[in-house]
Structure 1
């Protein structure tokens, strides 16, 4: 099975042109230097962070959602990606395209660790599309998720991420102020089963340093993965334990944000305080 990138782009553009999907290709980008790290902040239309309901809360269902799901997919669906996952366009996009890889089973949850079907479906897309894409997963409320239905996201890989040094054999690791665990990959000789083993190993390392440290750890559903971010390209995998997703409902960072590509809706999310021109997002979110 392969994925037709031209079809995906055509469907995405059609949804944008019809007004169903919100995307502006003339987004303002601000660069900020934080120590040795250069961070890019993109101003784009996006919703504010919504706290996910507890595991005991009943998910409201409408005819726009699959059974057990809290994600509206009707009208956004692009096609079946595998036997277990389907592709939809993200309603509020900051890339062309910005996709969600959603489990066909609407009862799978975003606070669960990834399994073989998740990684196999993501790897199918990454390894067959012509362009360079990145797949990422925001696990748990403190990992930056705002919906319960289990899903990964995919966008064309932004340039100059903190992890971009992994694209080069002798790349120099930048100094970051959070714990992260990573592995270089051989795109020609890597299977989904091997990727799952690598993910489980990195997640175990992340769990050893992050267990019990998340802000909402006490109320997390039992036997779930620690809040973490998973980021995967054809050349590397990164797992980051998370302590918090945001300073407040406006200023939050997801998996790609942790690698230095942050999307915000307003200038107010970047600079806070009376008369201040002080970037608070970086320090408050990144310090693990």
Structure 2
């Protein structure tokens, strides 16, 4: 899938009002101990719903959804892959910010990724030779997901996240939670090889995370350990999660666990600082025992 086509369609959807993207969003940095956090202050997320909240619709008729799905793709389509649909995220803080949905609307966000999922993500990541993209998966309610239809997200890779050392060769960032990562060697990885890396990292995450998520008791059949998976062309991270949020104003997805937190107001930033940034991420993940 061609990057120029993706950007052209994404920009059109923003200009037409279908997609909410704040061209004037700000990056506000905050140092907590040895960690540098980046808050993305954006108005685009003001009306974003979650699994536990709904937003009133201004439409008298909801757009149709794929059978089994809780995500409408109508009006947001970018393209299709063999087993996935590429759409623009309605509430985005990247240009572009994409959703990569399983074509089967009955696939669920609490399942492990499979070879087809990773193959589709790999195709999008390699659509550009100039821009570094990141794909991420918020697995389960405790992993920070906001919709049940199985999907990944793709956007330009933020700079200076906790994972930046994986590209720079600098010393590993000391995070307060367990994470497991793999740098890729040279050459082109196959989807099967990506799946092997993912399963190995997920196994390690499950060993420390187990079923200790906040909603473990009500987890559906087939649910795996709540986790985040973050993938670029040069590395993969899998980290176990225990909670999706500290409170309704302090929740994070995969990128948030890497120190890149999208917020709507400065009040949310103040809330995070008051709670303690490093301590909060430890609580949301599986804390390391010192």
If the length of structure 1 is used for normalisation, what is the TM-score? 0.90
- Deviation of residue 283 (structure 1)? 2.5
Q: Matches of 2:238 and 2:76 in 1, distance apart?
A: 29
Q: For residues 13 and 187 of structure 1, do their structure 2 counterparts lie closer, same or farther at Cα, with a shift above 3 Å needed?
A: farther
Matched, 1:162 2:162: yes
Q: Matches of 2:260 and 2:79 in 1, distance apart?
A: 28
Q: Matches of 1:50 and 1:155 in 2, distance apart?
A: 20
Could you list the per-position Cα deviations for residues 140-164 of structure 1 after superposition, in whole angstroms to 9, with x for gaps in the alignment?
A: 0000001010000000011011111
Q: Matches of 1:129 and 1:272 in 2, distance apart?
A: 37
Unaligned 5+ residue runs, structure 2? 54-60
Q: Matches of 1:281 and 1:162 in 2, distance apart?
A: 13
Matched, 1:8 2:3: no
Matched, 1:252 2:251: yes
Equivalent position of 1:79 in the other structure: 79
If the length of structure 2 is used for normalisation, what is the TM-score? 0.90
Equivalent position of 1:190 in the other structure: 189
Could you list the per-position Cα deviations for residues 166-217 of structure 1 after superposition, in whole angstroms to 9, with x for gaps in the alignment?
A: 113x421011001000000135231111010000000000000001221111
Alignment of 1:82-161 (within 5 A): 82-130=81-129, 131-161=131-161
Equivalent position of 1:56 in the other structure: none
Q: Matches of 1:266 and 1:52 in 2, distance apart?
A: 20
Equivalent position of 1:286 in the other structure: 282
Q: Matches of 1:171 and 1:192 in 2, distance apart?
A: 28
- Deviation of residue 279 (structure 1)? 5.5
Equivalent position of 1:180 in the other structure: 179
Matched, 1:31 2:29: yes
Q: Could you tell me whether the CA contact under 8 Å between 2:176 and 2:278 is conserved in 1?
A: no
Could you list the per-position Cα deviations for residues 116-149 of structure 1 after superposition, in whole angstroms to 9, with x for gaps in the alignment?
A: 0000000111123232100000000000001010
Equivalent position of 1:68 in the other structure: 68
Q: Could you tell me whether the CA contact under 8 Å between 1:12 and 1:97 is conserved in 2?
A: yes
Q: Matches of 2:215 and 2:277 in 1, distance apart?
A: 20
Aligned-residue CA RMSD (Å) = 1.9
Q: Could you tell me whether the CA contact under 8 Å between 1:68 and 1:106 is conserved in 2?
A: yes
- Deviation of residue 268 (structure 1)? 2.2
- Deviation of residue 48 (structure 1)? 5.3
- Deviation of residue 223 (structure 1)? 3.0
Identify which of 41, 65, 75 aligns with 1:43. 41
Q: Matches of 1:154 and 1:208 in 2, distance apart?
A: 27
Unaligned 5+ residue runs, structure 1? 54-60
Q: Between Structure 1 and Structure 2, how many residues are aligned?
A: 274
Q: Could you tell me whether the CA contact under 8 Å between 1:247 and 1:285 is conserved in 2?
A: no
